[in-house]
Amino acid sequence: MTPAQVIDLIRHALWTACYLSLPVLALGFATGIVISLIQVVTSIQDASFSAVPRLLIFLGLLMLFLPWMLSRMLNYTTSMLGDFTRYAQ
């Protein structure tokens, strides 16, 4: 393999990882903002009030997006490992 092919392979792997994690991280970030605003408005400074809802939201989002994420990872893996002649040169 040439260095350009290795760089392209790594770039594609990193973009796939970013693409897969984006929905869960973005919605988790929005949830964190909303919970922080609720804490500021109500003056509740309990750590469990902050952590428990965020963990539940992340768990729910993972369960919701897991089939989509698995199908994307399966497609990526199949396309990457499906043709070894690209890497054997």
Q: What confidence tens digit (pLDDT) does each residue in 32-83 have?
A: 899 889 888 988 887 777 788 889 999 999 999 999 999 999 999 898 888 7
The structure tokens listed for 44 are 């509740």
pTM above 0.75, yes or no: no
Q: Quote the CA–CA distance of 46 and 38 in Å, as a whole number.
A: 12
Q: Quote the CA–CA distance of 65 and 28 in Å, as a whole number.
A: 13
Q: Quote the CA–CA distance of 35 and 31 in Å, as a whole number.
A: 6
Nearest one of 28, 71, 78 to 53, comparing CA atoms: 28
Q: Quote the CA–CA distance of 79 and 70 in Å, as a whole number.
A: 14
Domain span at residue 55 reads 3-86
Q: What confidence tens digit (pLDDT) does each residue in 35-49 have?
A: 889 888 988 887 777
Q: Based on the structure, what is the number of domains in the chain?
A: 1
Specify the pLDDT at position 89: 66
